[in-house]
Chain A
Amino acid sequence: MRHELTLRIGPATFRVGSAWRAPIDALARLYAAYPDQRGAIADFTVRLQPTSLARRWVRPSIFITGDHGLADAAPMSLAHGLLAAEMGMNLQMALGWRRHLLLHASSVEKDGRALVMTGESGSGKSTLAALLGERGWRLMGDEFALLDLDSGAILPFPRLVSLKNRAIDVVAGAVAADRMGPLLRATAKGDIRHMVPRADAVARMTEGAAPALLLFPRFGHQAEVRPVGQGEAFMRLTQASTNYVALGEPGFAALTRFVTGAPARAIDFPSGEAAFDMVDRLWDELA
């Protein structure tokens, strides 16, 4: 393809090809601190291609695909090219990664132990992880947590943090301007802005941590902590995993080990400050 870049995030290498320069330039700027992978054999190929021949130039419209793709993926505007590239990489992980159990969860680490947070989009797990990453924790990832099948450790996948709508201002206030990407207005998921993880998160992106606490956060509710049984935790994590079924027995072994080893709580929180208090308290108490 005309423009390309090879990137490594955690254990995975992506070759991103694009019919346009802009998405590749945006990626290159925001991933500048990540390992240079030029000329590497990539785990996945991502393609940002025109939805039709004319759409390369006229109202450019991106079709996101690659080794793994969805036939009915919605086309995206070139103005959202960075988001398209990120979605293309996520798609490869979600559909194609087999070396770890992939959990749709954020994770942060302290003292060699990991806090894993999972929930629906909008639960606040991503924002919470981003903010904890600025408050003494190491950010391991805002979207995917990788559960190692042999060691049971959580491995990082510290891609750019994707901030949505109200979370944008909250986080932008806490980090330096050069770590923020362009504001992408009116995407299918609302306004989106990417944040580059701190240097230590990138430098230690192959370093795992034993899971010590599992939280199911829910933003926008009265503060409340509820215990979660192992069965419920297991079920919700299988739903939060895109490759549980594909991994078969090793996936079963890893996930049962996780839910029997780490305590789980559901937390409702009305604000970031309330969430920090709850996380600190539960971490001291349980982890």
Chain B
Amino acid sequence: MQQEGPAMDRMKRYRLDRRDSCRVCPLDDLVLLYHPRSGQTHMVISPVPEMLERMVDGAPVTASDLHDRLARDYDLGPRDVALAQVAAQLEALEALGLVCAA
């Protein structure tokens, strides 16, 4: 199962619903997101703001798609490690309701 789980996650597609777009305020040490639909404020650091930025078009993406979009602008290091991170962040964002399963 443990072998399968992350691999499955990488196939899962997420999207950013327009209703869930956040008000963003960068501070000197982190980024604040205000999510109007829930009234919640989230404190996040890279790569979360960058991920959300690359999802604003609303198109469904897998962790792998998103990784590749990020890799165009940033040096993410070894693909496997970075991909696992992106997948984990997407899962966390879904739990918060900031992105949804597509």
A and B touch in the complex (CB under 8 A): yes
Stretch at the interface among A61-69, A97-105, A227-235: A227-235
Contact segment of A13-21, A71-79, A252-260: A252-260
Residues of B within 8 A of A173 (CB): none
CA of A232 to CA of B28, assembled, Å: 10
Contact flags (1/0) for A171-210 with B, using CB distance below 8 Å?
0000000000000000000000000000000000000000
Q: Are A252 and B43 in contact (CB under 8 A)?
A: no
Chain B residues lying within 8 Å of A260, measured Cβ to Cβ, are 25, 27
Q: Which residues of chain A come closer than 8 Å to B32, judged between CB atoms? A: 231, 234, 252, 256
Chain B residues near A238 (CB, 8 Å)? 41
User: A273 at the A/B interface (Cβ < 8 Å)?
Assistant: no
**Chain A residue with the shortest CB-CB distance to B45:** A231
A150 at the binding interface (Cβ < 8 Å): no
**Residue A248 at the chain B interface, CB threshold 8 Å:** yes
Asked if B43 and A256 make an inter-chain contact with CB atoms under 8 angstroms apart, the answer reads no
**Contact call B27/A252, Cβ cutoff below 8 A:** no
Closest-CB distance, B46 to chain A (whole angstroms): 13
Chain B contact residue count (CB 8 A cutoff): 12
Contacts of A229 in B (CB 8 A): 27-29
Residues of A within 8 A of B7 (CB): none
Q: Of all chain B residues, which has the CB nearest A259?
A: B27
Once the chains are docked, how many angstroms separate the CA of A256 from the CA of B34? 11
- A231 & B41 in contact (Cβ 8 Å cutoff): no
Given A249-B23, A249-B36, A252-B34, decide whether A235 and B28 contact each other with a Cβ distance below 8 A: no
How many A residues are at the interface, by size bracket?
A: 10 to 19
A245 at the interface (CB under 8 A from B): yes
**Is there a chain A Cβ closer than 8 Å to B78's Cβ?**
no
Assess A230 versus B27: contact at CB under 8 Å? Given A235-B43, A245-B39, A248-B39: yes
Kindly list chain A residues whose C-beta atoms are within 8 Å of the C-beta of B25: 252, 256, 260
Residues 16-58 of B contacting A (Cβ, < 8 Å): 23, 25, 27-30, 32, 34, 36, 39, 41, 43
B36 touches A231 (CB 8 A): no
- Give A254 Cβ to nearest chain B Cβ, in Å: 11
CB distance from A201 to the nearest CB of B (A): 33
Inter-chain CA distance A248–B23, complex, in Å, is 12
Question: Which residues, 12 to 44 on A, are CB-close (under 8 Å) to B?
Answer: none
Chain A residue at minimum C-beta to C-beta distance from B36: A249
Which residues does chain B contribute within 8 Å of A259, judged by CB atoms?
27
- Write out the residue numbers on chain B whose beta carbons fall within 8 Å of the beta carbon of A235: 43
How far apart are the CA atoms of A256 and B23 in the complex, in Å? Answer: 11
Within 8 A of B (CB), among A237-276: 238, 245, 248-249, 252-253, 256, 259-260
Q: Which of A97-130 contact B (CB under 8 A)?
A: none
Q: What is the CB-to-nearest-CB distance from A246 to chain B, in angstroms, rounded to a whole number?
A: 9
Q: Residues of B contacting A245 with CB < 8 Å?
A: 39
For residue B30, give the distance in angstroms from its CB to the closest CB of chain A. Answer: 4
B23–A231 touching, CB < 8 Å: no
Give CA–CA (A37, B34) in the complex, Å.
Answer: 39
> Which residues of chain A are near B43, meaning CB under 8 Å?
231, 234-235
The complex places the Cα of A260 from the Cα of B30 at a distance, in Å, of 12
A: which residues have CB within 8 A of B?
Answer: 229-232, 234-235, 238, 245, 248-249, 252-253, 256, 259-260
Q: What are 6 A-B contacts defined by CB distance under 8 Å?
A: A229-B28, A230-B28, A231-B28, A234-B43, A256-B27, A259-B27
Question: Given A248-B39, A260-B25, 4 more contacts at CB 8 Å?
Answer: A231-B28, A238-B41, A249-B23, A252-B41
